[in-house]
């Protein structure tokens, strides 16, 4: 489908731009400012698009309620990006972890899990044939995320209250990712069955996978000696994930929401 190809090419273009701005930002200014402006702008755009979809669909039925849960997740992550940007840009705190932003990020996993699980359960279906692929994909993810928890434990200073808090909050991310990877893997396997529905859900699944990869890389760089200053290399993945969700919502808005006033106006014009 032509529109699908255009959207995919647009996402690739957006990914390239985000990467270029992040990597080459120091040439023209502060990378921190560029990265945070991108993150807040893109995540905010995805949230506003979801609000528009919710407004058009209302909240009647499973489908609209699932997208409402997606909107709640995007709202929480947009708040997290905004708070993180405030700490870094305004307060001048480099890598503000742990902070209030983490509470919003971690809370956002709950409605996102509900959305993914609901899509698989109510629309894509759960069959015996998908059990083995899901188990295999999830097992690989669990091993990687389990290693992160182990390395975090080794690097943590559990003799102080701040060290314990950092370990608990830092460890909550890979655990939350473990929960997300299961419905994401199930959705990824089943998506080929759809046509119009394939595109928006595929882009959201891609976004979730990008977020998990970015979380994994961020965590490894944070705990490995000498890599702490390179954490910013994972920022483009978060940005592209938000772009993928925004692209998904644009597609959903175009094909799955109905503007009743516009339809009524067209009907009146044709039936004068």
User: What residue spans define the domains of the chain?
Assistant: 2-257
pLDDT at 68: 93
pTM: 0.84
Q: Give the whole-angstrom CA distance, residue 184 versus residue 166.
A: 27
Residue 148, C-beta contacts closer than 8 angstroms, at least 6 positions apart: 174, 216, 219, 220, 223
Higher pLDDT, 134 or 192: 134
Q: How confident is the model at residue 263 (pLDDT cuts 50, 70, 90)?
A: very low
> Tokens in use for 141?
């993810």
DSSP string, 101-119: HHHHHHHHHHHHHHHHHHH
Residue 44: what pLDDT? 94
Rounded Cα–Cα distance for residues 170 and 12 (Å)? 30
pLDDT digits (tens, 9 = 90+) for 2-17: 566 777 777 778 778 8
The top-scoring range by mean pLDDT among 46-60, 147-161, 196-210 is 46-60
Q: Give residue 77's Cα distance to chain centre.
A: 8
- For residue 16, CA distances in Å to 19, 21, 136, 168, 195 come to 5, 9, 31, 34, 27
Q: Mean per-residue pLDDT for 162-166?
A: 82
């Amino acid at each position: 489908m032509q529109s699908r190809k255009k959207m995919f090419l647009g996402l690739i273009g957006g990914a390239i731009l985000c990467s270029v701005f992040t990597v080459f930002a120091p040439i023209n200014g502060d990378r921190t400012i560029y990265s945070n402006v991108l993150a807040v702008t893109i995540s905010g755009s995805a949230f506003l698009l979801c609000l528009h979809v919710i407004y058009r669909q209302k909240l009647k039925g499973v489908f609209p309620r699932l997208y409402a849960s997606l909107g709640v997740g995007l709202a929480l992550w947009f708040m997290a990006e905004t708070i993180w940007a405030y700490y870094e840009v305004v307060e001048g705190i480099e890598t503000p972890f742990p902070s209030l932003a983490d509470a919003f990020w971690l809370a956002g996993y709950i409605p996102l899990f509900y959305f993914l699980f609901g899509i698989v359960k109510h629309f894509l279906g759960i069959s015996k044939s998908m059990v083995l692929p899901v188990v295999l994909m999830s097992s690989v993810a669990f091993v990687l995320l389990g290693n992160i928890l182990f390395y975090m434990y080794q690097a943590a200073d559990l003799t102080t209250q701040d060290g314990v808090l950092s370990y608990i909050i830092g460890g909550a991310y890979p655990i939350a990712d473990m929960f997300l990877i299961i419905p994401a893997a199930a959705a990824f396997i089943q998506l080929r069955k759809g046509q119009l529905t394939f595109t928006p859900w595929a882009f959201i699944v891609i976004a979730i996978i990008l977020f998990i990869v970015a979380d994994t890389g961020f965590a490894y760089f944070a705990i490995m000696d000498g890599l702490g200053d390179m954490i910013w290399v994972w920022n483009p993945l978060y940005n592209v994930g938000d772009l993928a969700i925004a692209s998904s919502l644009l597609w959903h808005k175009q094909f799955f929401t109905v503007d009743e006033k516009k339809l009524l106006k067209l009907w009146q014009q044709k039936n004068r």
